[in-house]
Structure 1
């Protein structure tokens, strides 16, 4: 049986950041899917091709499900699965860095830049919070 504990310190912060990330990711991923042709893509010589619009659309569901699973475990005090789910979910935002690896990304409209950058920043924040949760749990286990 998996041991459950009371929610850990910082849980409310993590929940708030994840909630903000979900809202921003909806805007970003819907825009990316619906306006796929408006986003810059790598050239034909690129080592990594651009994902299709279908992959972009489906990715949101995969990442968000992982985030929900991480939150579910966090609320049950199951730190390691929570950290895994949250860290995986953080990639939903971090992957936005890919937009800036191709020419023309800085030419996107300011409103698009804003949600892409916000998604990246929230991805970084979730990854940092997940790492902090992991470190706190290790320290707590040693005490």
Structure 2
């Protein structure tokens, strides 16, 4: 796949992932009490509604950084940032470690699962990009200047 085609795939993938995450995180924040929470003896306590909201901004910053690095053709660094962003969706798996998660209404299940799928897709893209970084930057492409060695 060429850099231009991969760029189109990445833009679509991130666009969809961000939209899905907005729906999921807003619902999780606004309807926080409707989500099942771990019991008092759980190894990891449920994050607060505030932490859920802050988390969305932190994860999305990783996605934005990944896209910026991609456009600057820092493919490996972009892949690392995109991997960080993928956690935004993959963390949705935690919902299903709590009793009662499968009892949530169907539309909530839909956006939680869609967010997980988007996270997996972004992670897959990031791993693919890291593996093919050398091919995605053509030899004649503008590269950042090399740092002089001391």
State TM-score, norm by structure 2.
0.86
Conserved? CA contact 1:7–1:77, under 8 Å? no
How many aligned positions are there? 137
Please, which of 18, 25, 31 is the counterpart of residue 35 of structure 1?
31
- After superposition, give the CA deviation of every residue in 1:56-83 in whole Å (9 maximum; x if it has no partner): 0000000001100000111111112201
Conserved? CA contact 1:21–1:123, under 8 Å? yes
Q: Are 1:102 and 2:94 matched, yes or no?
A: no
Matches within 5 A, 1:118-133: 118-133=114-129
State TM-score, norm by structure 1.
0.91
User: What is the SS of the residue equivalent to 1:10?
Assistant: helix
Larger Rg: 2
User: Which consecutive residues of structure 2, in runs of 5 or more, have no partner in the other structure?
Assistant: 140-150
Give distance in 2, aligned partners of 1:116 and 1:123. 11
Conserved? CA contact 1:8–1:77, under 8 Å? no
- After superposition, give the CA deviation of every residue in 1:15-35 in whole Å (9 maximum; x if it has no partner): 101100000000000000000
User: Which consecutive residues of structure 1, in runs of 5 or more, have no partner in the other structure?
Assistant: 1-5
Matches within 5 A, 1:1-143: 7=3, 9-138=5-134
The CA RMSD over aligned residues, in Å, is 1.7
Give distance in 2, aligned partners of 1:64 and 1:140. 24
Give distance in 2, aligned partners of 1:56 and 1:22. 15
Give distance in 2, aligned partners of 1:81 and 1:9. 19
User: What is the SS of the residue equivalent to 2:41?
Assistant: coil
